[in-house]
A and B are shown apart, each in its own frame.
Chain A
Amino acid sequence: MLAIDARDVEKTFRSGWFGRRETPALRGVSLTVERGSIVGVLGPNGAGKTTLLSILATLLTPDRGRVLVLGHDVVREAGALRRRLNMASGRPSFLWSLRVGEIIAFYGRLYGLSGARLRRRVDTLIELCELGSYRRVPYSDLSTGLKQRVALAKSLVNDPELLFLDEPTLGLDPDVSVRVREHIARLRREQGITIVLTTHYMREADELCDEIAFIKAGRILSRGTPGELKRQIRLGEVIALRLDPPAVTWLAEAPGVLRCVEADGWVECTVDEAEKRLPELLRALHNDGVVIRNVQVREPELEEVFVELAK
C-alpha cells in the first residue's frame, strides 16, 4: 500500500519583476513510497530535495503533476492531510520566548489535544526526546542539538502516519546523531510510521533507509535499496590486500580488476565481482611467491555512489 504516489511533479520558482527569472526546481519527478518504509531522498545542494519534501508536506503547491499522499490530493485535500503528517527540519525554528513544554503543547492543541490527553502527550514526548531538564527553558536558550530534539518532539505530537525529516541530524554532535538515528529507526519499527528523509550524511542513509532516491537538477536519476544503487552504478567491490612485498605491479592488469591503488600499506583492488575474483587473485599471488598478510572485502560506500551520481 502506498503512502506517497507522486507522478510527473514539476515546480519552477519565479522571481524578479513579473516573475521573469525562472528557476526550475523539479522537472517531472515521480516517486512512490510504501507504507511503513523509510525512504531517503539524496542529492547535492539545490537538487530539489527540500522542494520535493515541501510539496509532499503541503507547504508548496506543484505547478504540474499529481501528488497523492496517504490517499489525499496534496492541493485539494491539504486540510485533511495535514492532520495525518508532520515534519521536522534540520534547521528548526520556533517562537523564541516560548518554553519547550509550551511549544509542544501549542502544536498539540492545533491537532485537537487538550486537558489530560495533551499533558500526557507532552510528557511522553519530552521523555522520549530526553528533554526533561529543559521543559521550562525558553527555546532561544537551547543549543542546536536541543532545538533539533524539540523539532522532533513537535513532529510527533499528532502521532503522524507519515513523517518528513529534512536533514534531521544536521549540525549535531556524533553521539546525539546516533541517538536521533536510533530513535528514527525505532519510530518505524514500533509505530510503523512511514518516514521520508533528506540527508547529506551517506552513512545515515545507508543505515536507515530501505530505499534511496537520488535526485539531481530536479530529476530522480536513480532509485533503489542502498545495495542496488551501488550495483547500478557499477562501482565494483573492493578487495584490500596487505602483501609482502607490498607492491605487485601486475595486479592492476589481472582479469576483472578495474583499478588498483596503494594506501597505508594496503593495495586496494576494485574488481567487477569479488566472489569470483578473490580466489583467482589469491591463487595468482601465491603462485608468484607473494605473502598475503591480510585480506578484506568490502562494498563501495554510499558516499562513492553519491559522488559518482553527482558528477
Chain B
Amino acid sequence: MSWRNELLAVWAVTLRNALMGARNVFFFFELLFWPVVGVLSIGLMSRFLELTPAQASFVLVGTIALSVINVCQLEVAYAVLLDVWSKSLKHQFLAPIGIRHLTLGSWVVGMVRSSVVFLLLAALGWWAFDFEVLRPGWLALATFLLGCFLTAWVVGVAVCALITLFGNRAEAFAWATVNLVLVLAGIYYPVSVLPGWIAAIARAIPLTYFLDAYRSYYGFPSEFAAPVATGLALSVLYGALAHWAFLAAIQRARRTGLLLKMSE
C-alpha cells in the first residue's frame, strides 16, 4: 500500500468518527458534562478538606488526566464499537483496511476531542480553584498530554481486541478498563501509598510515570528516575502488544465466524 493510500485510509476513519461524534447527543455528555462534573466535585472536595494549593493541584491533575484519557480511549474503542453497534463490521473488514488505519484514525479524533476537554477543564480549574496548568511549562505540559494520549491509545486498542475476541458482551470493557488502569496508576494519590504488590503493578503502567513527572512541578518530588523516558518506553511496548493482540483477535474472529456474527 502506498503512503497516499495509507493516509487516505486513516483520514477516512478520522472523518467517519468525527461525523458520527458530531451527530450523537450522548457524545456531548462524554465531552463536556462528565468532565466538568468531575473537576467541580473534586475541586470543591479539596476546598472542603482544606487542602493546600499544591495538594489541590495534585488531585486536579488526576481528575483532568482521567477525563482526557477517558474521552480519548473511548474514541479509539469506537474504531470497533461504532461498527459493532451498527452491525457493519463485516463491511469494514471486507475493505482493504488495516487495524493501524482504524486505530490511528480514531486516535486522531480522540486527541482532538480530549484536547478540547483539557482546555475546558484547565480553564475551569484556573477560574474556580486557582489551578495553574501551565506552571510546569509548555514542554512538561505537552509531555504530560502525550503520555495521556498514549495511555488512551494503548487502553483503547486493548479494548478493541477484547471486543473482537469476546463479541458484543465485552462492550463493558470499553468503560471499565480505563478506570481500573487509572486507579492503579495513582490518579489521586502517589503510588507509594499503595500496598506492595499493587504498587508493583502500578510501576508497570506508563501513566504512573507521566503523572509522577508532571506532579513533580507542583512540589511533589518524583518517585522514579527518568519517569518520562520510562513512561514512553512502556507505552511503546504496550502499544505494540495491544496492536498485536487486536490483530490476533481479528484473525481469530475471521476463523471462528465472530466477525459475521457481530454483523447480524
Contact = CB atoms under 8 A, between A and B. Distances in A.
Q: Do A and B share a complex?
A: yes
Given A93-B263, A94-B88, A96-B86, A110 B96 contact: yes
B254 interface: yes
A82 B92 CA distance: 11
A112 B95 CA distance: 11
Given A59-B93, A60-B260, A111-B95, A98 B19 contact: yes
Contact of B12 (A79, A89, A96, A106): A106
Given A93-B88, A111-B96, A106 B16 contact: yes
Tell me if B's interface is mostly helix, strand, loop or mixed: helix
Interface residues of B, number: 35
Of residues B23, B82, B93, B95, which shows the largest number of chain A Cβ atoms within 10 Å of its Cβ? B95
A6 interface: no
A interface bracket (residues with beta carbon within 8 Å of B): 20 to 34
A79 B96 contact: yes
B256 A91 contact: no
Contact of B97 (A14, A60, A86, A110): A110
Of residues B85, B91, B255, which shows the largest number of chain A Cβ atoms within 10 Å of its Cβ? B91
Contact of B86 (A58, A95, A112): A95
A94 B89 CA distance: 9
B128 interface: no
Contacts of B91: 87, 93-94, 107, 154
A83 B2 CA distance: 13
Contacts of A89: 90
Interface stretch (B3-11, B65-73, B132-140): B3-11
B8 A109 contact: yes
Interface string A81-106: 01100110101011111100010001
Interface in B244-264: 251, 254-257, 259-260, 263-264
Nearest to A54: B260
A201 interface: no
Interface of B: 4-5, 8-9, 11-12, 15-16, 19-20, 23-24, 82-83, 85-88, 90-91, 93-97, 101, 251, 254-257, 259-260, 263-264
Interface of A: 13-14, 50-51, 54, 57-61, 79, 82-83, 86-87, 89, 91, 93-98, 102, 106-107, 109-114, 138, 154
6 contacts: A59-B260, A93-B91, A97-B19, A107-B91, A109-B9, A111-B95
6 nearest A-B pairs in the assembled complex, by CB-CB distance: A109-B12, A93-B87, A110-B95, A97-B23, A82-B96, A112-B5
